[in-house]
Chains A and B, each alone.
Chain A
Amino acid sequence: MALPGARARGWAAAAKIAQRRRHAEGARGSSSRAPPSSRAALYVHWPYCEKRCSYCNFNKYIPRGVEEAAMRSCLVTEAQTLLRLSGVRRVESVFFGGGTPSLASPSTVAAVLEAVDQAAHLPADSEVTLEANPTSAPRARLAAFGAAGVNRLSIGLQSLDDTELQLLGRTHSARDALQTLAEARRLFPGRVSVDLMLGLPAQQVGPWLGQLRTLLGCCDDHLSLYQLTLERGTALFTQVQWGTLPAPDPELAAEMYQEGRAMLREAGFRQYEVSNFARNGALSTHNWTYWQCGQYLGIGPGAHGRFVPQGAGGHTREARIQTLEPDNWMKEVMLFGHGTRRRIPLGQLELLEEVLAMGLRTDVGITHQHWQQFEPQLSLWDVFRSSREVKAQLAQGLLLLDHRGLRCSWEGLAVLDSLLLTLLPRLQEAWQQRTPSPVQGG
């Protein structure tokens, strides 16, 4: 399929506009006045990889040959179908994840964006992110993705140590990573993020901080730090289980995390989420939607989404999961227009639990205003004010509950999961004890 010329140029221009625009207000507010139910973020899953990474348990496949034309047409079809079902009129961000979406053709990316803009509206300043793996000759390809409409890159750099990269089963070297980062910054200034992993087997705090320092010298305005999670079914898990590799030390990982976030704070980065850091307001609006429990559609094999299928007359938010295996997914898309395998309606309490657990991952936490959008009757004060255990967390300075809302302190953010073990049961309890609200009169 030929690149849709005029449209692609249009996208390139739009990307430039987006690059110049800074999200001065942060990612919090939405520039749109449209009601929340008519807006959504879109996640596109590209399920293929060149090679299996030793730590990854995502839904990905090493293909013998990808029928890209078929894949492309299915992604387009599914995007159209789900946009119709959801009744979404405006797509505020698109994220191409995987797998390794940078292995897809730029024309596929362009086709999906084109379809989205036709089926709904994709404003010119929407954030369009592509996950890209470092390569030895990145320039031409990255430029082509830019021309296709991508305006933000998330680079899976993972480490700046070749031995560690080998351990992780990555195909790139530290040199490739730095070169790709430099090229990406030239093409997408202020719109490049890098991932750095911590807590690898045998990794030590000092050398890891050295990597972070090197990265600070050449990175753009966005960084994600995350700890290696050993997932069952991965090569790394097996190696650790058989004792051929030492188990990662959680104490060291915790130290890396603490020292790392302190170093980033020093360098002017805002830790706006548990594992995400940005300066100059370069927050990722797409991911922000997840943590604020906004609507998102997921297309592609195994993609997840959460939205109200308003276009189909639904009123309940649903968690949706697409069929995992690419071949089956494609068959279903060709037959039914979409490959949705499961639809799980979310109850009000479940939704509130997500609002709580996801919202507290961010530095602003849950504002009263935000909470009210989901639950007008039972306020944050009502839920948490009287709990003895919550009071203890407030007194320890891990948690803050004030006129702005509920949020973690800097210290609290690092131990959020254990705070949630108190907060979630408290929410459940308050929900069960609430006085049934009188039926709202019209």
Chain B
Amino acid sequence: MWTPVSRGRWHGRALTVWATAAAHRGLLEPRRTPSRGAAAKSRTLDRLYSSADRKEKIDMSRFSVENTRNFSIIAHVDHGKSTLADRLLELTGTIDKTKNNKQVLDKLQVERERGITVKAQTASLFYNCDGKQYLLNLIDTPGHVDFSYEVSRSLSACQGVLLVVDANEGIQAQTVANFFLAFEAQLSVIPVINKIDLKNADPARVEKQIEKVFDIPSDECIKISAKLGTNIERVLQAVIERIPPPKVHRKNPLKALVFDSTFDQYRGVIANVALFDGVVSKGDKIISAYTKKTYEVNEVGVLNPNEQPTHKLYAGQVGYLIAGMKDVTEAQIGDTLYLHKQPVEPLPGFKSAKPMVFAGMYPIDQSEYNNLKSAVEKLTINDSSVTVHRDSSLALGAGWRLGFLGLLHMEVFNQRLEQEYNASVILTTPTVPYKAVLSSAKLIKEYREKEITIINPAQFPDKSKVTEYLEPVILGTIITPDEYTGKVMMLCQARRAVQKNMMYIDQNRVMLKYLFPLNEIVVDFYDSLKSLSSGYASFDYEDAGYQTAELVKMDILLNGNHVEELVTIVHNVKAYRKNVLAKCYGGDITRKMKLLKRQAEGKKKLRKIGNIEVPKDAFIKVLRTQPDK
């Protein structure tokens, strides 16, 4: 998913040469080289020589299952997750303490503005405690619900989590969402209250919040300052004491879960795996339960956080595996790998990521179409959660309809297109996937099902042919200082939200839960919430399925600005060739005329502006500036 971003940061894949990424990366890796350019170059060389040639291999057999722990850190943005990770890596000797691994603002502009983190990292820590060698695998998760799919797949390789909460800000919306993901996965949760060194820190209040909201006794909270390194050892001890070792067996045949994968242009696919049973080593013949294809393992190893080859990987351990897979689709995330002739029951796998926000994307100039096409292809090679459908618009010519996990996902994608590929695009107002239950037998035959999903509002089936329309809904969590409660509730009501719950998490903070139609939050909701609460309210959401949409509302939606594109420029004649090429004989005339008239009608609606210069960030601006409905 966002692996290109995170890999850029952690492993510096040659694929991602991106100015911003260069500034981000390197935090958690040894700083071997003085300048960025040189760093990128040396990493490229690393790719040319297998890392196996340079480093002595680690014998992983000395880490027994009993001495292995797999865990994640989950936190609201800026509550100190990355700093804590730095300290843990230093303390275990994974990275050098003297190199001053100071937490810098290593975030994308969009992350800072939106208050979210997008990253997924893995590192194996070697730690001595009471004379025992422990292997602690830190499997990091992206911090936002757009990526809850990745969070859940990272968590599936863990037995416990560190839940980091800021001693000053207390529990925020994202803390809640992340906690419940871990809770549902039945993981041990270790609450960690960070930033106790701050002047306004109130760890006692946060302890009470944790007790009230998550039902965790306050004496289980570990109070730390990741910045100063206070109490970090206690965190490691808690990981060993409170998180159980994985329940796995070395003696059983190999059963490995692919929980992430990336593409390296020199070595092919690098699959991150968690071993549930057995052993894997170089030369083994393995089979993908999903594709049934057989591969020979070329390299196995651990991530610390760079790839470090090992002789073998054993049950309970987490690492990577390279086996001549040519394309990320071959290393399906959630897939189970097993040994040739030793088939095992595959692990349950993951629900595939469902795009929830759609937008049309068009080149500003049609002559840029092919460049943009190749940029989109390159970006999606490592992010299979972006869905791509070719589309053409009356006003904007040939383009695509892209599906994203959420708004942030979309913005990051757009930003990367601009920054990495210098591509200028027009994105249309985001929309959500609606469903329609068809009543027309003819349409059911065409679509081959009764309930269809519509990702482009322009393709809505007519009301007369539909029993009901369904729209996606989400369960939103808002945490706000109580003085803003009134305003927040009014905002939610204006967005057709239904209140599900309201509780005080301490004397002056309120947690509200609302069921929102997704389309009400895809444009501008977050900004409105932030501005009416002077930035204090936090918001997060989770998927809550579909509900019947009111037809009246749907009419307004369809006749309103959602149907047509946001920005209009004079259409490019070239884009319509394809309609002409279709043959047209007697039976086609009615259909042809209908189509032509509908298009002509659409064209009339568009205001012609002439050959305007569309600013690169037209889309992001619209997300901000569109007035509330």
Q: Could you list which residues of chain A lie within 8 angstroms of chain B, going by C-beta atoms? A: 43, 57-58, 97, 198-199, 224-227, 229, 232-233, 238, 241, 247, 250-251, 253-254, 257, 274-275, 287, 290-291, 296, 298, 302-306, 319, 321, 350, 353-354, 357-358, 361, 398, 413-418, 420-422, 424-425
- Within 8 Å of chain A (Cβ to Cβ): is B369? yes
Asked if residues A290 and B581 are in contact (CB atoms below 8 Å), the reply is no
- Within 8 Å of chain A (Cβ to Cβ): is B486? no
Contacts of A58 in B (CB 8 A): 587
The chain A residue with its CB closest to the CB of B592 is A357
Asked if residues B574 and A415 are in contact (CB atoms below 8 Å), the reply is yes
Contacts of A238 in B (CB 8 A): 448
The chain B residue with its CB closest to the CB of A296 is B586
Q: Could you tell me the distance in whole angstroms from the C-beta of B440 to the nearest C-beta in chain A? A: 13
- The 9 A-B residue pairs with the shortest CB-CB distance in the complex, in nearest-first order: A227-B581, A233-B446, A417-B579, A418-B576, A226-B583, A304-B587, A254-B577, A424-B600, A416-B580
Question: Which of the residues B370, B586, B600 comes within 8 Å of A290, measured between beta carbons?
Answer: B586
Asked if residues B587 and A226 are in contact (CB atoms below 8 Å), the reply is no
* Given known contacts A303-B587, A418-B576, A424-B596, A251 and B581 CB-to-CB distance under 8 angstroms: no
Contacts of B579 in A (CB 8 A): 417-418
* B577, B590, B597, B599: residue with the most chain A Cβ atoms closer than 10 Å: B577
Beyond A254-B574, A415-B576, 17 additional contacts (C-beta under 8 Å) are: A43-B586, A43-B587, A57-B446, A97-B585, A224-B583, A226-B582, A232-B446, A233-B448, A290-B586, A296-B586, A298-B586, A357-B592, A413-B580, A416-B580, A417-B576, A421-B599, A422-B603
* Given known contacts A247-B390, A296-B586, A420 and B581 CB-to-CB distance under 8 angstroms: no
Question: Which of the residues B581, B586, B599, B600 comes within 8 Å of A274, measured between beta carbons?
Answer: B581
Q: Could you tell me the distance in whole angstroms from the C-beta of B547 to the nearest C-beta in chain A? A: 26
Asked if residues B447 and A233 are in contact (CB atoms below 8 Å), the reply is yes
The answer for the CA separation of A97 and B588 in the assembled complex, in Å, is 13
- Within 8 Å of chain A (Cβ to Cβ): is B356? no
Contacts of B593 in A (CB 8 A): 350, 353-354, 357
Asked if residues A251 and B369 are in contact (CB atoms below 8 Å), the reply is yes
Contacts of B390 in A (CB 8 A): 247, 250
Interface size, chain B (Cβ < 8 Å): 37
Q: Could you tell me the distance in whole angstroms from the C-beta of A417 to the nearest C-beta in chain B? A: 4
Asked if residues A250 and B447 are in contact (CB atoms below 8 Å), the reply is no
Q: Could you tell me the distance in whole angstroms from the C-beta of B318 to the nearest C-beta in chain A? A: 30
* Given known contacts A43-B586, A233-B446, A319-B590, A254 and B578 CB-to-CB distance under 8 angstroms: yes
- Within 8 Å of chain A (Cβ to Cβ): is B392? yes
- Within 8 Å of chain A (Cβ to Cβ): is B250? no
Contacts of A414 in B (CB 8 A): 577, 580
Asked if residues B578 and A227 are in contact (CB atoms below 8 Å), the reply is yes
Q: Which chain B residues (557-606) contact chain A, with CB distance < 8 Å?
A: 571, 573-587, 589-590, 592-593, 596-597, 599-600, 603-604
The chain A residue with its CB closest to the CB of B370 is A251
Question: Binding site of A, secondary structure by majority: helix, strand, loop or mixed?
Answer: mixed
The answer for the CA separation of A421 and B596 in the assembled complex, in Å, is 7
Q: Could you tell me the distance in whole angstroms from the C-beta of A40 to the nearest C-beta in chain B? A: 11
Contacts of B394 in A (CB 8 A): 421
The answer for the CA separation of A141 and B581 in the assembled complex, in Å, is 32
Contacts of A413 in B (CB 8 A): 580
- Within 8 Å of chain A (Cβ to Cβ): is B145? no
Contacts of B392 in A (CB 8 A): 250
The answer for the CA separation of A141 and B478 in the assembled complex, in Å, is 76
The answer for the CA separation of A418 and B573 in the assembled complex, in Å, is 6
The chain B residue with its CB closest to the CB of A319 is B590
Asked if residues B445 and A358 are in contact (CB atoms below 8 Å), the reply is no
Contacts of B596 in A (CB 8 A): 357, 417, 420-421, 424
Contacts of B333 in A (CB 8 A): none
Asked if residues A298 and B587 are in contact (CB atoms below 8 Å), the reply is yes
- Within 8 Å of chain A (Cβ to Cβ): is B398? yes
The answer for the CA separation of A123 and B398 in the assembled complex, in Å, is 49
Contacts of B592 in A (CB 8 A): 357
Contacts of B585 in A (CB 8 A): 97, 287, 290
Question: Which of the residues B447, B574, B584, B599 comes within 8 Å of A358, measured between beta carbons?
Answer: B584
* B370, B447, B571, B573: residue with the most chain A Cβ atoms closer than 10 Å: B573
Chain B 219-230, CB within 8 Å of chain A: the 1/0 string? 000000000000
Q: List 17 A-B contacts (CB under 8 A).
A: A43-B586, A97-B585, A199-B581, A227-B581, A233-B446, A233-B447, A257-B581, A275-B581, A298-B586, A304-B589, A357-B593, A358-B589, A361-B584, A415-B573, A417-B576, A417-B579, A422-B603
